[in-house]
Structure 1
Amino acid sequence: MEANFKQHQSYLKAQKRVKEIKGFYTHLTIYCLIMPIIIFVNLKFVPEFHWFWFSLLGWGTGLFFHWLGLFGFNLLGFGRDWEEKKIREYMNENN
């Protein structure tokens, strides 16, 4: 019964991760579809001032942090699964 519970927990964790990745790629796709429209509108109607850079960089920064939060920033080995790996390591040492 415990093995079934662990398998179910692993499935739920994997399902959540897939949902997060799908959300990121949806965010990226929308960015790639909307930014050319914003650039076109800017250059068509106000070509003397390139305000599209504010949208491009602002939204791009948000997209970068979305990516960073999802795939992690591995600075000195402290990645997304670092805590879990350390817990398993200490549990194995005690056994």
Structure 2
Amino acid sequence: MENNMQNEIRYQEALKRVKKIKGFYTHFIVYLVINIMIIISNIQNLESGESYFKLENFFTAFFWGIGLILHALSIFLPTWFLGNNWEENKIQELMGKEENNKWE
């Protein structure tokens, strides 16, 4: 019984992680598609002799790219920022506080 429960917990944790990874890949694909559309639109609207390589043409890709990198770091390097088992420790801490508040 205990083993089945541990397997179920591990399965749920793995499922949660897979959904986070899938969310990142979706974010990445949307980033690529939208930025390609912006590039195509900007190129089509160029005046003759005008260069595409102007700073304002890259603002969206640059700042959204920073967000995408931070998203990737949060998915693929979770122990880098919050440490090992941070989530489990936080759950235990909050459950302990909740239990203490019941008696007050």
TM-score over 0.5 (shorter chain): yes
Alpha-carbon distance, 1:80 to partner: 7.1
Q: In structure 2, how many angstroms separate the alpha carbons of the residues matched to 1:79 and 1:54? A: 28
Cα shift at 1:16: 0.3
2: distance between equivalents of 1:13 and 1:59?
Answer: 29
Q: Deviation per CA, 1:19-74: give whole Å up to 9, x if none.
A: 0000101111111111111012122225557423100101111100000100117x
Q: Please list, as runs of the form range in 1=range in 2, the aligned pairs for 1:66-77 lying within 5 A after superposition.
A: 66-72=71-77
Q: 1:80 to 1:17 in 2, by over 3 A?
A: farther
What runs of 5+ residues in structure 1 fail to find an aligned partner?
85-95
User: What is the identity percentage for the equivalent residue pairs of Structure 1 and Structure 2?
Assistant: 38
Distance 2:61 2:42 in 1: 12
Q: Find the residue that maps to 2:84 and give its secondary structure.
A: helix
- Structure 2 alignment gaps of length 5 or more: 86-104
Larger Rg: 2
In the aligned structure 2, how far is the partner of 1:39 from the partner of 1:15?
36
For 2:31 and 2:16, how far apart are their aligned partners in 1? 23
Answer whether contact 1:35 1:56 (CA < 8 A) is retained: yes
Aligned to 1:90: none
Q: Tell me the residue number matched to 1:28.
A: 28
Distance in 2 of aligned mates of 1:9 and 1:56:
39
Show the 5 A alignment for 1:1-95. 1-46=1-46, 48=50, 50=54, 51-72=56-77, 79=80, 82-84=83-85
**Given the two structures, how large is their TM-score scaled by the length of structure 1?**
0.71
Aligned residues: 80
**Which structure is higher in RCO with an 8 Å CA cutoff and minimum separation 6?**
2
